[in-house]
Amino acid sequence: MTEEWRLLTINDYPGIKTQTIYHAVAVAMERYQDIPNTIIICWPADPVVCVGYHQIISEEVNLEYCHKNSIPIVRRCLGGGAVYLDEGQLFYQVIARLDSKKIPKRVADLYQLLLKAPIATYQGIGIPAEYEPVNDIVAEGKKISGNGAAMVGGARVLTGNLIFDFNFDEMINILKVPSEKFRDKIAKTLRERLGTIRNFLSDNLPSRNEVKKLLIENFEKTLEVTFTVNDALSAKEQAINEELITLYQSKDWLNLPLKRRTTLLQKRKVKISSSTQIYESVYKAAGGLIRLILEVADNQIKDIIISGDFSSEPMNAPELIENQLIDQPLSEERIIKTLERVYKEQQIEIPGISPADFSKSIMLSIEDLF
């Protein structure tokens, strides 16, 4: 059965607002019953560094470079990794009410359905796009679209991009890396693994408007919806958007993962005692990177911060996991049982990251302990 959805098309939108707008619609859906299922098509007028909800900015972003070059940093309300966004990318943002019968409840199923339209759009302009779990679109081995999804406010939200062109140099510069040699390695890998419309169609580039039109048609077909077109939010949505613009620029929002474990972050800077130590690890799972900061005393987990470029549902899943791990003994068997229990009780879904992955990352951080 065909449903009527709202389509918002916004050209040259300020970078930070490209991230607050879909959040505002999702919050409005929670507050008001008359906000329709919505797809937003937009692109940024100015560059912005956008970090994932679960990331610690100081661990991921070259702050000195961003400040020196006046590139704003924003934390989005979805998971994933730090990215450089500019006018070379066209964004699609799907915001569907929680009671929508069109949208699957499982995040993995949601990706498979909602990525059909961008995949068909790439294919329609001559690029052999395919879905690659968990949340990527690839062509000939190159990633050509990054996507994130979660439950936000009163909605299920998916955002992603069609990449016309990409500023590889800026992306490499904005990332925090341990050495310039490592930066060179990232640069090589990024250029090898990321594809753009310009890469594939250099002699026959479609216009942005042509691609946008095709994308809209493909969303109508794959979701079996018809669109009512608007070019602005309603007044009550705009009021929420203004609140979020202020929030997104606040220190509290930018430092969100650190707020729940401030004491551990302070301890990290100093040696505690012979029986209490701070350990760190980085573990790559199928669904993303897990970063851990761990306080260990008397063979027990005394405090822990989980961050990374993964997506989760509910959004506070890392905090729920942290709270259950505190005071647990450093036993792999006990840790994995605790993780399996909290996954089940809290209905945690982190695509591509299992309780075993978190357990491995913890055990990795303490390898040198004994």
pLDDT tens profile 172-203: 999 998 888 888 999 999 999 999 999 999 88
Question: Among 150-154, 206-210, 267-271, 328-332, which is the least confidently predicted range?
Answer: 267-271
Give the pLDDT of residue 203: 81
The distance between the two most distant Cα atoms of the chain, rounded to a whole number of Å, is 66
Confidence of residue 281 (pLDDT cuts 50, 70, 90): confident
Check pLDDT > 50 for residue 53. yes
Please say if the pLDDT value at position 137 is more than 70.
Answer: yes
Any residues with CB less than 8 A from the CB of 84 and at least 6 apart, and which? 47, 49, 50, 167, 170, 171, 174
| Alpha-carbon torsion angle 84, 86, 90, 91, nearest 10 | 50
The predicted-structure confidence for 213-253, as pLDDT tens digits, reads as follows: 999 999 999 999 999 999 999 999 999 999 999 999 999 99
Domains with residue ranges and CATH for the chain = 3-256 (3.30.930.10), 260-365 (3.30.390.50)
Round the average pLDDT of the chain to a whole number and report it. 93
Close Cβ partners of 275 (under 8 Å, ≥ 6 residues apart): 297, 298
**How far apart, in whole angstroms, are the C-alpha atoms of residue 266 and residue 269?**
6
Cis amide prior to 314 (ω within 30 degrees): yes
**CA distance linking residue 295 with residue 147, whole number of Å:** 33
Tell me the whole-structure pTM to 2 decimals: 0.91
Q: What is the predicted pLDDT for the residue at 122?
A: 99
Q: What is the pLDDT of residue 39?
A: 99
Question: For residue 176, what pLDDT is reported?
Answer: 94
* Res. 112: pLDDT tops 90: yes
CB-based contact 134:286 (threshold 8 Å): yes
At 262 the pLDDT is: 62
Number of neighbours of residue 336 by Cβ within 10 angstroms? 18
Between 261 and 331, the more confident residue is: 331
Predicted confidence (pLDDT) at residue 367 exceeds the cutoff of 80: no
